[in-house]
Structure formats: structure tokens, C-alpha cells
Structure 1
Amino acid sequence: DPDMAPLKTAFVTSDGKVIDGGWNFFDNSPSLTVEGYHGQFVSRVLAARGNNSFGVVGVAPSNIRLVSLQVCAPLCSLISVAEAIDMAMDIGADVISISIGYYEHAVSADDLYLLLSIMRRAQLQGIVIVSSAGNEQRSSANRYPCWYGGPNAICVAALSDSEDYKLAWFSNYDDRVDIAAFGENIYAGTNGLGDDAYVSGTSFSAPIVSGAVAILLSLGVEPSMAKSILLTEADSFDTREKYLRPGGGALNILSSV
């Protein structure tokens, strides 16, 4: 995505490897591939700068650097997710935005243990991890990384595009889902065919919250306070049918900053 290229600057790992814009964990190379435009659309929602060719401005269009760590090609590997989080820690990332998830029954116990261990280490390092709640119209119980939680972890549900706040029909929910952000019919610019792309899913709610976290950190907020601020300033709405954690609500970026 050439319009996102200016955000993707070089990072250096602890062993001296230069990560120039991103890394593909499937073939262990810097060559990123297009898999249904999911990653591109997520990146645009998060950080697209103004005056670009696709007419979308991201939530945090300035003062950030973006690194794309590809873990799907097209199937997504839990091991690759763990490796990507480990690399994000190594290069000094402040926020990790994850728009995929796995139910416990679908992965091995060893792989899940590895993921949760890496997530714990990342949070102890002060990194904020934002993940999507999922689109199965069900509880997010035992769907990871969302369900792991933690002081620096934020699990995000999707709001519908209706005038009144309510969870989108597809959005997962439960008492470890922290906050909701818009995630239905989000304009993401054009796809590779030049057609307008409107996307729906918690995959696109998560980068909205990640962008909000990036804004807070750019203002000098400590990472350990970002989650608390977003939840405290969230707008309450009726969650009796699809509930969030106690005190969970709809993201309000203006109140948060």
C-alpha cells in the first residue's frame, strides 16, 4: 500500500537486524503479501495520513511509526502471532494491534501457552495490546488473545452504525470485553480493483482503539494509564443483551484526551 509507506520506517532488533516497514513470518522475509486487503484496511483505519489517494484519514494519522507484522498467508498461525509480539517487543513498540483470534479448542495447549506467556511479557514491558473480540455473535470466552486480559490489554467489541449506541449484530461480547468502537460499514478507501470498500468486523474496531491509545501515549500518558482512561471516559449504553465488562462502554476519544 504505497500511501501507507511513509509511516513504515525502519526498526532495528536487539541483534542488529533492520526491519524496514514490516516482516512476513510465513516465509521469514521482509516481503509482505496481499491477503484479501484485511491488513491494509486495518492499517488505514489506524493510521492513514490525510491527502492520500484513497480518501481516508486514520484515527492516529501523525506522530506514529507503523510496522506491519504479517501472520496470515492466508491462514493465520498462532505461533506466528507469538513471534510477531516477540518482535514488536524487541523493536520497542508501544502499542500492538491484533485483529485476529483463536478459540482455545482450536489450538494446541503448548501453542496457547506460548502466546499467553509472550502477551504477559509484553505487558510487563509496558506495551499496550489491543485485540478484537470476534464476529461470531457469541461470547468471547476462551477466544485469544482477547480473553487473556491484563492491565495493559484491551479487548474490543464492534458498535453498529446505528444512531444509538449498540453492539453490532455480529459482535462478540462477555465480561472480559473491555470497550466497543464503531465496526460496521467503515469506509476503508478503495480496494485493488479501485472499488470503494466498506468493511465490518471487530477487526476494524480494534485499530480505532489502538489509534486512541497511540494518541494518549503521544500526549505523554503512561502506558499503564491508557486503558483506565479509555474505560473511564467511555460512554455507557444498554448492554443487557450483549454485555461487556462492568463499566465497559463505547469509546469516546475526545473525552479521553
Structure 2
Amino acid sequence: MTLAGKTAVITGSNSGIGLGIARELARAGADVVLNSFTDREEDHALAAALGEEFGVAARYIKADMSKGDECRALIEQAGACDILVNNAGIQHVAPIDEFPVEKWDAIIAINLSSAFHTTAAALPMMRAAGWGRIVNISSAHGLTASPFKAAYIAAKHGVVGLTKTTALETAEEPITANAICPGYVLTPLVEAQIPDQMKAHNMDRDTVVREVMLERQPSRQFATVEQIGGTTVFLCSPAADQITGTTISVDGGWTAL
């Protein structure tokens, strides 16, 4: 399939999962808009290099996903949004009774409210174009829970609910909305944590990955950013025209337990 002629906006996409998704959409021929809250030369250079590599139009737009007006402005500045991928997210770990209020507010804003704002801004563009795909990056923690991650889990469960509502509101239109629920994904941020875990547990790399980091992931393998990107491309394909309002787990069996 080809996504030539489509424009994809991916939030939180100058690294990690977001960048992996942007690369796979560009590989499929979509023009891409990268985003994060910084505005550095390397951000714009990253977009330029991606565009050159895949022969598509690619640019970077700064927008702080904790601010609703900037979320909506991102879509407006993009000028077109056939494919919207809500990926931006942050995390904080603490017991509920010790959870900093400012961390709760930031996680809900960036992980959940941003998806509401971008979707609200993108839907009129999709309707005008006669086609649209919304892919929300939730998490295995959008379907299950762990202690000490109250805000993240509340937000990711909320993303699943928002996805279902969006799908119902667009069910009779050529627009779909789905959520991808990754388990542990090997990103540069996760890779950087492995040496510290090796020291803390006095284990070699393979053992600490299998027995500590991937304890809850039955496959004992990380998902990859390319796999999350490939799943996103599939949801934009004709094969997925009747897939809407659902979740796709890419979690090595985590949520099967």
C-alpha cells in the first residue's frame, strides 16, 4: 500500500516510539510532521533528514502538549492532518498518597488531554478531506494496572475511552480511531536504563532484561519501534477500514495473563 498524498502528524516524535512511527509512515509514502516541546536545530535537521531519506515532505513543529492551545495550534500549523498519531507521554512513579499534584496534572495533560485537543482540531480537516485515521498510543497499562503509576494508568485508560468515543462519533464516516497498546518497547531511554539495572541486580544484560525488565512480558522480548510503526501503517491501510474503536496490543502476551 502507499500513503502518498497523506499528511501524518505525530506528537512526541523526535525520538523513541514517536520517531519510529514517523519513519514507518514516511516509508509508506506519507508526508510527516514531527513534534516535541523543544525547538532546536537538531529537531528541524531530524525532520529534513527523514524527508530526504524517504523522499517525502517532512518538517518539525514545536508545540507543548501540556497546553491545549498549543496542541490545537500544532494541527492548524500542519495545514493538513489525514493521519493523527497521539503519542506524546511522560511518566512518574509514586504512591497515590505521595504523588505530586503537579506531576499528576502534567501527566493527565500530556498523556490524555493533548489527544482530545489534537483530535478536536484534526476531525474537521479529515471530514473535509473525506478520509482520516486517528491512532492513539495507549499502553498495556491502558488495559491493566500496576502500583505506583496512578496518573499514567488513569491517563492511558482514558486514552482507550477517548478512542472508543471518537470511533463512535465517526462510525458512519471514512474515519477510524484505534489505540495501540504497547508493552515494553526498546527505545533509547529504555536502553539507557539497562546498565544501571545490571549493576543493581548484579546480573548480565540478557538476564536483567529477561528476569527484571521483562518480568511481566511473557515473550521475554522487547517490542520494537519498527513494530509499533508497522502496526500504525496497517491501521491506515484498506485492510483496516472496518477496524475502529478498538485496541491492538503489541505486548508479547502481557495482557493475556
TM-score bracket relative to the smaller structure? 0.3 to 0.5
TM-score (structure 2 length as normaliser): 0.41
Higher gyration radius (CA):
2
Per residue, is there more helix in 1 or in 2?
A: 2
TM-score (structure 1 length as normaliser): 0.41
